[in-house]
Structure 1
Amino acid sequence: MRGLGFDPRTKLILLLFCVLCTMFAPSLTYEVILVCLIAVFALLSGRYRHAVTGIAAYGLIYGATQFSIYELSGTWQAIFAAFLGLVNKVYPCGFMAGIMIATTKTGEFMAALYRVHMPDNFVIPFAVMLRYLPVVKEDWRYIKDAMRMRGISPSLKNICLHPVMTAECLYVPLMMAASNTADELSIASVTRGIENPAPRTSLTDIKFSFKDFGAVTVILLYFAFGLLVRGGIL
């Protein structure tokens, strides 16, 4: 089902404040609520599978974090607590970035960035990156299918038991495909006139609406709440 259709600039603002919220998070509970807010945003954007899988994956991370804090001790507790602490910081940002990329076309991003007068030195690399990620994901799927045909599964077990073969069959083709993809995208971008200095036009209607102001207001208030809690005011 089609979601509300938020402005691309709203998504960029939400991603920025997700990073700030995780940087200044006063507690693990604060981060849990942040992930729930991102899941609500995914639901409003029509990405129900993203919301469910995102919450389920974070539930596993949260459970592992609680286990490392209360059930482990000594060196193992320090190792797992440090690692999972980093995962808890990165996960909300990755969750939000995934929703942003899945719900926004490259042309919409470019139109939004040009609307706020961002320079070409930022817009062009950003647009190429957005085009690049889906192609690499597709190449990854093809490489895994080819590996399975040879009886090699790109699993953690095979990485541990047959590291050289796994690297040869997985990472080397992926790096070669990524290099070729980068060249193809660069040629395609130049062919489409991406270097043209003239002002660009767009058929995409980019504008802030009430739902965008509402989403930005919620994340701003939640960020301010985290700062107040961190400062001991609340």
Structure 2
Amino acid sequence: MERRIFDPRAGLWLLVAANIIAFRPHTLWLELALVGLLLLLMAAHGKYSMAVKWAVGYCALLRFQQYILPASPKIIATSFTVFTTYARRMFPCLMTGSLMLKCTPLRYFIVGLRQLRVPQRLIVAVSVTLRYFPAIREEMGYIRDAMKLRDVRGLARLEGTVIPLMVSATETAEELSAAAVTRGIEDPAPKTSAVFLRLSPVDLAGMAAGLVLLALSFVVQ
């Protein structure tokens, strides 16, 4: 089955719109509409299990805020109200970021940034950073397997994880930087790419719906 690519330009636009809506006064139905839009985009890109997980998480958070907190003791309600409110507002931003991570390969993301005329220095920083964290996660898996193989436990396990990870983090950063330079990523000449980006009807519809919701956030409060 062909992998469905989420266009990075649509993702960045929805991410900006979601952040603006999140930090503006808005009604609950507008937030529900934005969450519903992102769930539809996840389903349209074949990420059904992801859509179900995010939907369950949002519904649980909403139920906790509207039903459980009001019935809780005052000290608990006061302590968790602000946290749950901001967590719920940030939910669409996290959903958009998750969809981009799962459906936008790094090479497509870089091509999208170039088409948006993003400065090359920023593209270099973003590309190296996005390659860095998966490499560190893979290295942590190797270290964890080594600890299990040697049956290391307690504080020795913590020491045996942190120190190799710190050394590996430095080496990984140097290797990624050297690899990027070797590939000519700092060359100021115009870049070419083997992949071609084109906004699909689904991405265009998502961008249009995001624009409508953003406009409504300034009109309906």
Cα distance in 2 for partners of 1:42, 1:109 equals 17
Q: Count the aligned residue pairs.
A: 220
- Superimposed CA distance per residue, residues 32-91 of structure 1 (whole angstroms, 9 cap, x where no aligned partner): 332222111111112222212222222332232234532124222111111112211222
Quick check: 60-69 or 8-17, which moved more?
Answer: 60-69
- The gaps in structure 1 that reach 5 residues or longer are 153-161
Flag as ranges the 4+ runs of structure 1 deviating above 6 A: none
Q: How does 1:17-28 map to 2 (within 5 A)?
A: 17-28=17-28
Structure 1 length-normalised TM: 0.80
Q: How does 1:80-229 map to 2 (within 5 A)?
A: 80-146=80-146, 150=151, 168=159, 173-229=164-220
Aligned CA RMSD, in angstroms, stands at 2.6
Q: CA deviation at 1:132?
A: 1.9
Cα distance in 1 for partners of 2:184, 2:173 equals 17
Partner of 1:158 in structure 2? none
Are the counterparts in 2 of residues 112 and 206 from structure 1 also a CA contact under 8 Å? yes
Find out whether 1:76 has 2:76 as its counterpart: yes
- Superimposed CA distance per residue, residues 91-150 of structure 1 (whole angstroms, 9 cap, x where no aligned partner): 221221111021112111111111222111211111112212322332344444455554
Cα distance in 2 for partners of 1:77, 1:15 equals 30
3-state SS in 2 of match to 1:100: helix
* Greater relative CO (CA pairs within 8 A, separation 6+): 2
